[in-house]
Amino acid sequence: MNRPPQSLLARIRAHLGFSVVAILAIFIVLRLLGVRSTVSGFVLSVAVTLALNVGLSYYNDRRARSGSPRRDPAPGGGDIRWREDDGR
């Protein structure tokens, strides 16, 4: 069943918590290792992470909604249980 598309604001809200927590954890680990970090660096990192997550969310939704068929796997791939013998 298809769900209605999310607005930009809803996507940002959905990914904001993850972005803040992930970047905060990285900054804490870096601080413990002795690397200096600034508030502006933290804000920029959260903004970049949030932009990437929201962009990937739009991309995945568009890809899932498109009616184009998925690409077939390369010859010789797939489930080997159903592969025919080589001429035996």
Q: Is residue 56 part of a domain?
A: yes
Decide if 70 is inside a domain. no
What pLDDT, on a 0 to 100 scale, did the predictor assign at position 83?
Answer: 58
Please tell me the distance from the alpha carbon of residue 32 to that of residue 19, in angstroms, as a whole number.
Answer: 20
The whole-model pTM stands at 0.62
- What would the DSSP string read from start to end of 24-87? HHHHHHHHHTT----HHHHHHHHHHHHHHHHHHHHHHHHHHH--PPPPPPPTT-S-GGGPPPS-
Would residue 38 count as lying in a domain?
A: yes
Q: What DSSP designation does 7 have?
A: P
Collapsing DSSP to helix, strand or coil, 4 comes out as: coil
Domain range for residue 56? 8-65
Q: What tens digit of pLDDT does each residue of 28-65 get?
A: 998 899 988 888 888 899 899 999 998 998 898 888 88
CA distance linking residue 41 with residue 36, whole number of Å: 10
Count: domains in the chain = 1
